[in-house]
Amino acid sequence: MSNTLPLFFNASRATDFSKLFAFCVFAALLNGCATPVGIRPVDIQTSYQLNTQSALSTGQPSEATKMVLRRNDLMDAFEAEPDKVLARLHTELKPTDDEDKLFALAELSLLHGQKTHDRAYFLAAAVYAWSLLFPGDAHGVQLEASDPRYRLAYDLYNQGLAQGLADSGDSGEVEVQLKPGSYRLPFGTLELSFDASDLSWGGYQLEHFISTAFLDVRGFRNRYRRPGLGSTLAASISSGPISNKVIGWDRLGPRTKVPVTAIAHLQHARSSLAGGQIKGHLELYANEKATTIKVDNQVLPLEFDPTAAYAYRLNDNPMYSMEIINFIKGGLFSGAIPKDRAHDGLFTLFPYQKGKIPLVLVHGTASSPLRWGEMINELEGDSRIRDNYQVWLFTYDSANPIAYSAGVLRGALENALKEFDPDQQDPALQQMVVIGHSQGGLLTKLTAIDTGNRLWDLISDKPFDQIKVTPDAQALLKRTLFFKPLPFVKRVVFIATPQHGAMAAASEWVTGLVARLVTLPQTMLQGFAQAAVSSGDEKLLAKLSRPPTAADNMNPNNPGLMTLASIPVPANTPAHSIIAVDGNVPKKEGDDGVVAYKSAHIDEAVSEKVVNWHHSCQAQPEVIEEVRRILLEHLEVSEKGGL
């Protein structure tokens, strides 16, 4: 018996061990052989999302901030009582360094501000981010440029500042209030000063500052923005009386929106966190005047977002819907221009900028300056163009006779140069480039050629100096019928221009219909009537019985157009042609639906670019790139001594 008992117990233990082993194998199979710690492969996009998610991109804390919460066992607490967690982290901040916790405070404050709509937390996010980026006399450790938190800290500051100073409106737009005062923080106060002179721009007061960071842009191919420091805003100019009439104040177009950047320049923010009393100065920078700012002896780029400001200007612009009606009736564009602005049709995007070459854009028939929007956005997005050219826009009633509109354009350009540079101290103004689309190209040509008496001789058999009219009528007739090259126009560009006529204008039914519908300017008709009556010129009287419109002037058989086509642009003013041909046809046999290639072609052009598109081609990439090439070529020539 004594020899068999151990064997019995050993057998029992073996059975138990077998059962335990089987259970462990079964449990392991149920767990898929997973270990407490391991990995799983992911694709590129998932990997990037895991490493870059943040309060700004996903509405969740970044991994760097989660680390701080986990280390302090605060993940669940932040979900339940975020304000208490933020207060604890703030209290535990070390006097210097501690950048991990400082970054977490910035990001978590922004998140809490989003959830509670409490602007104190947005401002706190900006203060923490500034303290992290510019520790100043606290001698803290700045983040390395390669640290993803570095750029994110800029964005937390920029957006925290915009939201922290925003008005609680219900328009959906974030309108920022720029004013001095004491602002509440979760841990104290923020005292901001502000110099009201920063609000002056182009002689006007800036107002209604809309944050572009919270605007989506539609319609433009590209959105040009430069990352940097500051909250990007689109500002309006005041409609009230102007107090400081700087040069060019009255040539700023209607509905102007100014791209500006706001900064809250904080003083000793890092060392002031513990005491809770932060001081700073609000600063406002217009993007065309400043691109950098100096902080702690560092020259830093300002953030700017000009495309959004320009798109905001064009958004729901009533001029779009007025284009066709204005062609028929005339004068509607002038009615949309504020009374305190120039009324010769020439407007600037920005106040006059000394040292920059004027780039004048002239729209076509039944169109408006708004149709240059894509090209302007692209050219302004190129620093080489933006830093060396200033965009001017000419608007006119495009049903008026072409020579009449050209006279208005020339007068407006001469007026602008006298206003901007009466003593001719700015050589850049003498290097002007004029670009015209469609009919605008014909106006452009008349800035560069000498017509002599040829246009007058087409309508009258009597010498002009024998015509007795009032001084005003005489000036109008001279401006409309006698052209010489403007000495400051150094290069011209024609886009889809009917140099030899437009196809539709060849129809007498079309030109007759236009003549019956449109309203021509009374001053022009009265001037010609004076000349006809005083001279008894039957040829001139016959013209008055059916005054010509721009449609008549673009008839391929029109004597005036044929005369204009016979006069080449002189060689000392380089001319460039951009011609549209729609469809897959040989270019010499093609057209753009309005203008045939053979009509748009001119022998004297120093370059000719043919694009496969319809007539309204000025927004197409090939056209814009050709204009960019021409402008850079012109800049190079100008820098070598000019034309």
- Please provide the DSSP assignment of 4-17 as one string: THHHHHHHHHHHHH
The answer to whether residue 50 is domain-embedded is: no
Q: Please say if the pLDDT value at position 420 is more than 70.
A: yes
Q: How many Å apart are CA 101 and CA 94, to the nearest integer?
A: 9
Reported as a pLDDT band with limits 50, 70 and 90, residue 31 is: low
State pTM to two decimals: 0.90
- β-partners of residue 192 are 181, 280
Q: What is the pLDDT of residues 242-269, one digit of tens each?
A: 767 788 889 998 889 999 999 999 999 9
The answer to whether residue 35 is domain-embedded is: no
Q: Of 310, 338, 364, at which residue does a domain stop? A: 310
Q: What is the pLDDT of residues 191-235, one digit of tens each?
A: 999 999 999 999 899 999 999 999 999 999 999 999 999 999 999
Phi and psi angles of residue 50, each rounded to the nearest 5 degrees, phi first: -65, -35
Same domain, 144 and 243: yes
Reported as a pLDDT band with limits 50, 70 and 90, residue 6 is: very low
pLDDT at 578: 98
Q: What is the pLDDT of residues 389-410, one digit of tens each?
A: 999 999 999 999 999 999 999 9
The answer to whether residue 30 is domain-embedded is: no
Same domain, 200 and 120: yes
Q: Please say if the pLDDT value at position 374 is more than 80.
A: yes
Pairwise pLDDT comparison (331 vs 235), residue with the higher score: 235
The answer to whether residue 11 is domain-embedded is: no
Q: How many Å apart are CA 608 and CA 637, to the nearest integer?
A: 19
The answer to whether residue 240 is domain-embedded is: yes
Reported as a pLDDT band with limits 50, 70 and 90, residue 20 is: low
Same domain, 124 and 156: yes
Range of the domain at 411: 317-639
pLDDT at 50: 82
Q: How many Å apart are CA 312 and CA 203, to the nearest integer?
A: 21
Same domain, 349 and 229: no
Q: Of 287, 310, 333, at which residue does a domain stop? A: 310
Same domain, 183 and 328: no
59-83 b/e (C-beta count within 10 Å ≥ 16 → b): eebbebbbebbeebebeeebeeebe
Q: Of 310, 345, 372, at which residue does a domain stop? A: 310
Q: How many Å apart are CA 357 and CA 143, to the nearest integer?
A: 42
Q: Please say if the pLDDT value at position 317 is more than 50.
A: yes
pLDDT at 25: 54
Same domain, 420 and 324: yes
Q: How many Å apart are CA 180 and CA 197, to the nearest integer?
A: 13
Q: What is the pLDDT of residues 144-176, one digit of tens each?
A: 889 999 999 999 999 999 999 998 666 689 999
**Number of domains making up the chain:** 2
Q: What is the pLDDT of residues 7-16, one digit of tens each?
A: 444 555 556 6
| 86, two tokens | 């933020």
Mean pLDDT lowest among 244-258, 420-434, 560-574: 244-258
Query: Which three-class secondary structure string do you get for 394-415?
Result: ECCCCCCCHHHHHHHHHHHHHH
Q: Please say if the pLDDT value at position 634 is more than 90.
A: yes
Q: How many Å apart are CA 111 and CA 128, to the nearest integer?
A: 13
Same domain, 463 and 380: yes
pLDDT at 33: 58
Q: How far is CA 135 from the centre of its chain?
A: 34
The answer to whether residue 49 is domain-embedded is: no
Same domain, 80 and 109: yes
Same domain, 227 and 357: no
